[in-house]
Amino acid sequence: MKIKTLIVIAAVFLSSSCSVNKLISDANNSFLRKEYFAAAEKYKLANQKVKDKAQKPLIYFNLAESFRQMGDYTKAAIWYKNAIRSGYQDSTIQLRYADALRGAGKPEMAQPIYEAEHKKQPQNQWASNGLESIRRIQEWKELPELYLIENLKTINSITNDVVTQLYPGKGQTIVLRSSREESPEKKINPETGQKFGDFFTSTFDSTRQKWSLPILLNEPNSLNSADEELSLNFDQTRQWVVFAKSVQQPLKPTIGQLFFMLKEGENWTSPKPVPFSEDGADYAHPMISEDGKTLWFASNRSGGKGGLDIWKSEILGKGQFAVPQNVGNEINTSGNEIYPFEKPNGHLYFSSDFHPGSGGYDIFQAQLSNGKWQIDQLSPPVNSAGDDLSIQFYGIQEKGFFTSNRKGSRGHDIYSFVLPPTLFQCFGKIHDSETDSILPDVNIRIVGSDGSSQKIRSVNGQFQVGLNPENDYAIVVFTNGYLNAQAKISTRGLRQAKEFEVDIRPVPTNKPIRIDNINYELGKWELLPQAKTSLDKLVDLLKLNPEAIVEISAHTDNTGDEQLNLTLSEKRAASVVEYLNQKGISAKNLKSKGYGESIPLRVNQKTARQYEFLRENDLLNDETIDKLGSESLKEIARSLNRRTEFRVLQTEQAAGSK
């Protein structure tokens, strides 16, 4: 009797064990196919049934990874914590846990983990980025928010809603991808647990001041299919469209592929794959630049930096594309960079889960400067602890839409944003650099890093101009008889009203101009460090005036041999020209001349104000110096004769002054 009982118990146990093992195997297969919702459901069920504690750590870790991939960082953090406690061995699990805590809005719990990992591996970029993220989160808390945002509740559903484009030429109409119930005959996506998505449109009713309920995109009518639609982008003429959709692979994860359609007359062609996207890699989020010359997209194709990267391809014609180029290390990381968007001014926006940020995915701006991308995180409340994605702008304006699953959202929701006017004012004065006299009426151009440009004219040597937030400005002065001059100011990071005061001092072109702090050791011509600092300012001035041809002249005092002084001054002038050449000033714009002791200084108004014993228009020759009396005053006069100057030989009026 006992033997029969044991046999029955053993059979039940074996059956149960096989059932659990099969469930874990099914969960693993779903996980490998990136069916994260299905995998999570199976792992949760397996976790309830499994008795072998050795199987628990992997279940916990894969549960955490599944929830992270779905953007549920609160649940991901719980399961990472369970995996760590159960002894799961993975070199990155602590950093994954810290990222999940940050995405769940608990940066104070993530901070000590980043600190510990950074202490163990100071060169670990992941840990370094985590610490920088914490620093930024703390910094943002102390600053007022710049943007106004609003959840578009009329548009959003209980499922994922993602803005994909502002519909070109349709006023205030947006195109969105949604998994809402209105999607007909759609299967459930095992990755999200929601229906496969379709494309919809919604239009703003200016009379009722609200957005319409989304309706299925009806042109091209073949865009929506039974498959998962991912993202689309029409060109500005709406004559062709590039879109991404899911493509099933036998026994492999589903991938995204790019397709295009052309409008011929009143009809659209059938979808055709973008040729380079047929290589088996994952493609998503196409965006056609406003000028129609560039296709941006995200992909993990070969040659990337890790995960999904931002790529671009030159558009050779409708449906014709050049070999894609990775946009480089400043933007792309070992993490994921997705949803590229290019403004008409060339600024690129994208979302990243690796650059230092507020939470899961954050939105970043990239600007090209001297051939390199400069990356800035958009400030809260655009970025949050959750995933912030797919930003879309109205032209170069600081307003538009983005998608987020932040607290208060029902899945992924669409939000509007706008940067309201902030009181930034610049008050300027314009004086002659040598006489300090007011330059009464001159042309001024104010150029912003956002692509803005405006031209004004000073009144009685003064001007006033309003500035936009989050911008770098160059204020350039153009006037006859003077080299162009500029001042640079920035409103980046400012959260309160501010008044800027600038005094711009154009250099006259009708007289030699002394270059301050150009001194040499006795009898030598090599430039000293302080001289290079002064010459760098001259470099900036000459780059602002690329048509100017200038003479660099060197002068000595009257002590020593006259011929040796002449030779010495020639070498000193040549050393200045050589330095300017090294700094990028063309040799054709520069001439050098040594005058030795032959041209004593004529005292100008500025020098006379600086030295009370001198008078304007004094010529510091032997006769004048001998009359000064004390040896100390004579030495000051000789030192003024030892000078390096530049004089404009030829210039052309810059186009900006016309």
Label residue 18 by pLDDT band (50, 70, 90): low
Segment among 417-421, 435-439, 449-453, 521-525 with least mean pLDDT:
521-525
pLDDT at 98 over 90: yes
- 332-365: pLDDT as tens digits: 999 999 999 999 988 999 999 999 999 999 999 9
Q: Which residue has the tokens 């610490």?
A: 131
Cα gap 583→274, rounded to integer Å: 45
Q: Which residue has the higher pLDDT, 47 or 142?
A: 47
**Predicted local distance difference test score (pLDDT) of residue 7:** 40
* pLDDT reading at 68 higher than 50: yes
Question: Locate tokens 């399961």: which residue?
Answer: 79
558 CB burial (10 A radius; 0-12, 13-18, 19+): middle
Per-residue pLDDT band at 153 (split at 50, 70, 90): very high
Mean pLDDT of all residues in 488-509: 89
Give the torsion sign (CA, 152, 154, 158, 162).
negative
> Residue 134: enclosing H or E segment and its boundaries?
helix 125-141
Output the pLDDT for position 183: 67
Any alpha helices (H) in 415-516, and if so which ranges?
Answer: none
- Angstrom distance (rounded) from CA 512 to CA 644: 10
pLDDT classification of 468: cutoffs 50, 70, 90:
confident
- Say which residue the tokens 């026994």 belong to: 251
Among 20-24, 144-148, 643-647, the range with the most confident prediction by mean pLDDT is 643-647
What pLDDT does residue 12 have? 38
Mean pLDDT of 230-243: 93
**What confidence tens digit (pLDDT) does each residue in 380-432 have?**
999 999 999 999 999 888 899 999 999 999 999 999 999 887 678 899 999 99
Asked if residue 362 lies in contact with residue 378, where contact means CB atoms within 8 angstroms, the answer is yes
Confidence band of 235 (pLDDT split at 50, 70, 90): very high
Lowest-confidence pick of 421-425, 506-510, 635-639: 421-425
Predicted confidence band of residue 8 (pLDDT cuts 50, 70, 90): very low
Report the pLDDT value the prediction gives residue 143, as an integer from 0 to 100.
Answer: 77
Across the strands, what pairs with 297? 311
Residues 506 and 484 sit within 8 Å (Cβ to Cβ): yes
> Which of 16 and 232 is assigned the larger pLDDT?
232
> CA–CA separation, 547 vs 255, rounded Å?
54
pLDDT at 57: 93
Question: Which stretch of DSSP H or E encloses residue 160?
Answer: none
Q: Residue 158 pLDDT > 50, yes or no?
A: yes
Give me the amino acid identity at 615.
R
Q: Is the pLDDT of residue 279 over 80?
A: yes
pLDDT at residue 1 in the model: 43
Question: Which pLDDT band holds residue 652 (cuts at 50, 70, 90)?
Answer: low
- Check residue 200 and give its pLDDT: 93
Q: Is the pLDDT of residue 115 over 70?
A: yes
184-200 per-position pLDDT tens digit: 677 888 888 888 999 99
Summarize the confidence of residues 310-317 as an average pLDDT. Answer: 94
Higher pLDDT, 74 or 144: 74
- Residue 152, C-beta contacts closer than 8 angstroms, at least 6 positions apart: 202, 211, 401, 413, 414, 415, 416
Q: How far apart are CA 184 and CA 191, in angstroms?
A: 19
pLDDT of residue 5: 43
Which domains does the chain carry?
A: 20-141 (1.25.40.10), 148-418 (2.115.10.20), 424-504 (2.60.40.1120), 513-657 (3.30.1330.60)
Amino acid at residue number 481: G
Band the pLDDT of 13: cuts 50, 70, 90.
Answer: very low
The residue type found at 229 is E
pLDDT for 2: 47
Round the average pLDDT of the chain to a whole number and report it: 89
- 637 vs 290, 517, 557, 568, 612, CA distance in Å? 63, 16, 9, 19, 12
**Range of 119-128, 144-153, 492-501, 648-657 with top mean pLDDT:** 119-128
Closest residue by Cα to residue 197 from 412, 417, 363: 412
pLDDT at 594: 93
Cα dihedral 69/72/75/78 (nearest 10): 70
- pLDDT value at 222 more than 90: no
Express each pLDDT in 297-307 by its tens digit.
999 999 998 89
Name the residue with tokens 């990243």: 352
Over the stretch 513-548, which tens digit does the pLDDT of each residue have? 898 888 877 778 888 788 888 899 999 999 999 999
Q: In Å, how far are 259, 397, 461 from 495, measured between CA atoms?
A: 43, 19, 30
Instruction: State the pLDDT at residue 52.
Output: 86
Give the number of other Cβ atoms within 10 Å of residue 421's Cβ: 10
Distance CA(384)–CA(104), nearest Å, equals: 10
* Average pLDDT value for residue range 210-234: 89
Query: Measured in whole angstroms, how far is the alpha carbon of residue 307 from the centre of its chain?
Result: 19
Asked whether the beta carbons of 556 and 638 are under 8 A apart, the reply is no
| Average pLDDT of the residues in 15-37 | 82
323: which DSSP letter? Answer: P
Across 252-256, 493-497, 541-545, 582-586, least confident range: 493-497
Residue 555: name the closest of 600, 494, 505, 607 by CA: 600
